[in-house]
Amino acid sequence: MSRWISIAACEDCPPGASLEAVAEDRIIAVFNVGGEYYALDGVCPHQGGPLGEGTLQGCVVTCPWHGWQFDVRDGQQTFAPTVKQPVFPTRVRDGQIEIALDSVE
Ligand code: FES
């Protein structure tokens, strides 16, 4: 059974927006794509840039440091098939975005 953790209020992440949150000892990047929430490990695998502060265009976030891009739906880096950022399941409860921190994909 998953352990769901509240990480942000829905109103803080409107469609097209992203944010960075801390869940226990992990930094999480949260994205709103057309009303659907997605959550990735927030630390870019290149050199540790903050993906939650990146630019979101459609379902692709661009790391603010050197421009690596990831599909926020599945964590896939857009030009290196072997690079995939961990993804966390999300849900909404009582106006809060929750992630299943122990269900990383
Ligand atoms: S740290 Fe993200 S692209 Fe370099």
Determine whether the shortest distance from the Cβ of 91 to ligand 1 is under 6 A. Answer: no
CB 19 within 8 A of CB 3: no
Determine whether the shortest distance from the Cβ of 61 to ligand 1 is under 6 A. Answer: no
The tokens 């659907």 sit on which residue?
36
Burial class (CB in 10 A: 0-12, 13-18, 19+), 58: exposed
How does pLDDT run across 16-49, given as a tens digit for each residue?
999 999 999 999 999 999 999 999 999 999 999 9
User: Could you tell me the two tokens for 11?
Assistant: 């109103």
Bigger pLDDT: 8 vs 2:
8
Q: Is the model's pLDDT at 103 over the cut of 80?
A: no
The tokens 């990831």 sit on which residue?
70
State which of 27, 44, 77 you would mutate to test the pocket of ligand 1, scoring each by most atoms of that ligand within 8 A of its C-beta. 44
2 Cα: distance to centroid of ligand 1 (angstroms): 30
Q: What is the pLDDT of residue 1?
A: 73
- pTM given for the model: 0.94
Which domains, from first to last, does the chain contain? 4-100 (2.102.10.10)
Q: What is the pLDDT of residue 105?
A: 66
Question: Which secondary-structure segment (H or E) carries 60?
Answer: strand 60-62
What's CA 50's distance to the chain center, in Å? 10
How far is residue 6's CA from residue 84's CA, in Å, rounded to a whole number?
24
